[in-house]
Amino acid sequence: MEKYLIIQLARFGDILQSKRLISGLSTQPPAEVHLAVDASLVSLAKLIYPDTHVHGLPVHGTHPDPVHLLRHCGTIFKQWQETDFSRVFNLNHSGFNHVLAGLFDPEQVAGYQWRKGQILRGAWPDMVFRLTRHRLTNPLNLMDYWGHFLNPALAPELVNPPARPKGGGVGVAMAGRHARRCLPVPVLVQILTAALHGHPGPIHLLGTETERPAARQLLKALPPVLQTRVCDLTGRTGWRGLIEVVSQLDLLLSPDTGTMHLAAHLGTPVTAFFLSSAWCFETGPYGDGHLVWQAARPCAPCLESQPCDQDTACLRPFTHKAVLSFLASQTSFPDPPAELCLLESSVDEFGLRFTPQLGELPESQERDALRELLSGHCLGKEPRNAAAQRAPAAWMYDEPHWMLEQS
């Protein structure tokens, strides 16, 4: 039996965005798939991927004493070395991932490899790293990036079910990890007031204990007619409870969060709000039929780590009356605000794509041409229009690609 190890040490959302790879491996019978995640996400990973062997490592926010860490990690690493993995997928560009690569021969590892103490990036991640230098034209979803570590990758339509309302009301993801990417309470109040107009069912506020104060603030600010329908679940659900709630929703309203990816995983429709550093082409909800409101100012997508000198101007269009009107009626509006675009998700043989429904995004031709190039690259397809790929090919393919064997 083939045995695989996937090392995914990032956050909640990333575990879900590894699904194309993990499911792709799991559906190659007979296969035994192991998944290494942060210790705090073990129970989530087991719920999402019940057929995998999940290993928890102390990576995020946990502070074990060094002795405990050495013992705990030592036991897991020994077990890994005794397991004859035919392939190890080392997904994240982090110091933890780099040292874990040291356990294996470089030839065994896809992603980040270790050769005599030197970290090496495989050909595919190296190419994708190049893409992210100009994020505006980057058409590649993270799910597809990791999914295409497999050749052939799992068919995109098999990753997540199409979005379909479940009858359990509306969910509201209160916040994500990056504050600037989230909608502040006053903005959220206006959006919810408009969007929930046509949804008579319960309204579930979702989030961790940290988001409880914001949830209370939101509750107070909502119109009384909505307040009575709110069920504040912030800090009150474990992973299992969250999955149960999200799986029954008609709609999840969310910024770019792990909960949004959970909804996509469960086939729950998402309407997402992407601003600041969030870029739907990279981390939008995966599957058919989700909607994303994408901020499209010239400075977007920005870097979360750098301060915003525009006073988060990309937030303003989200409360434009035309947007609120659309959210209320789901019909087109005559005068959409500039710098905001509504897109709908779908999948094709390469992966996720977003098609503008309202408004426009800059550099769409370049983005499409890059996507065509990547699609041909991963699927081995002949280009439909070679001339259109000349510019992206010149940008993506460098001399080392041309001259040196790519692992």
Q: Which stretches of the chain bind another protein, using CB under 8 A?
A: 57-59, 63, 66-67, 69-71, 73-75, 77-78, 80-81, 94-96, 98-100, 102-105, 114, 116-117
CB of 65 to another protein, least distance (A): 8
Q: Which is nearer to another protein, 105 or 348 (CB)?
A: 105
Q: Measuring CA to CA, how many Å separate 68 from each of 64, 99, 301?
A: 6, 18, 41
Q: At what angle do helices 364-379 and 123-131 cross, to 10 degrees?
A: 170
Q: Are 148 and 89 in contact (CB under 8 A)?
A: no
Q: Which helix (H) or strand (E) holds 328?
A: helix 321-329
Q: Which is nearer to another protein, 103 or 342 (CB)?
A: 103
Q: Are 138 and 280 in contact (CB under 8 A)?
A: no
CB of 305 to another protein, least distance (A): 15
Q: With CA atoms as reference, report the closest residue to 393 among 131, 151, 120.
A: 131
Q: Helix (H) and strand (E) counts for the chain? A: 17, 14
Q: Which is nearer to another protein, 305 or 385 (CB)?
A: 305
Q: Which is nearer to another protein, 102 or 376 (CB)?
A: 102
Q: Which is nearer to another protein, 57 or 343 (CB)?
A: 57
Structure tokens at 352: 């996720």
CB of 339 to another protein, least distance (A): 36
Pairing state between β 118-121 and 170-173: unpaired
Q: At what angle do helices 185-195 and 212-221 cross, to 10 degrees?
A: 50
Q: Which is nearer to another protein, 74 or 241 (CB)?
A: 74
Say whether 382 sits in a helix, a strand or coil. Answer: coil
Q: Which helix (H) or strand (E) holds 266?
A: helix 258-266
CB of 36 to another protein, least distance (A): 11
Structure tokens at 65: 């004493």
CB of 42 to another protein, least distance (A): 17
Q: Which helix (H) or strand (E) holds 67?
A: helix 66-82
Q: Which is nearer to another protein, 95 or 152 (CB)?
A: 95
Q: Which helix (H) or strand (E) holds 77?
A: helix 66-82
Q: Which is nearer to another protein, 61 or 224 (CB)?
A: 61
CB of 105 to another protein, least distance (A): 6
Distance CA 182, CA 214 (A): 12
CB of 5 to another protein, least distance (A): 13
Q: Which is nearer to another protein, 20 or 55 (CB)?
A: 55
CB burial class (10 A; 0-12, 13-18, 19+) of residue 130?
Answer: middle
Structure tokens at 308: 């915003």
Q: Which is nearer to another protein, 99 or 225 (CB)?
A: 99
CB of 393 to another protein, least distance (A): 27
CB of 92 to another protein, least distance (A): 12
Q: Is the peptide bond before 161 cis (omega within 30 degrees of 0)?
A: no
User: How long a stretch of residues is the chain?
Assistant: 407
Q: Which is nearer to another protein, 64 or 186 (CB)?
A: 64
CB of 57 to another protein, least distance (A): 7
CB of 22 to another protein, least distance (A): 22
Say whether 394 sits in a helix, a strand or coil. Answer: helix
DSSP state of 108: G
Say whether 367 sits in a helix, a strand or coil. Answer: helix
Cα torsion angle, 380, 383, 386, 388, sign: negative
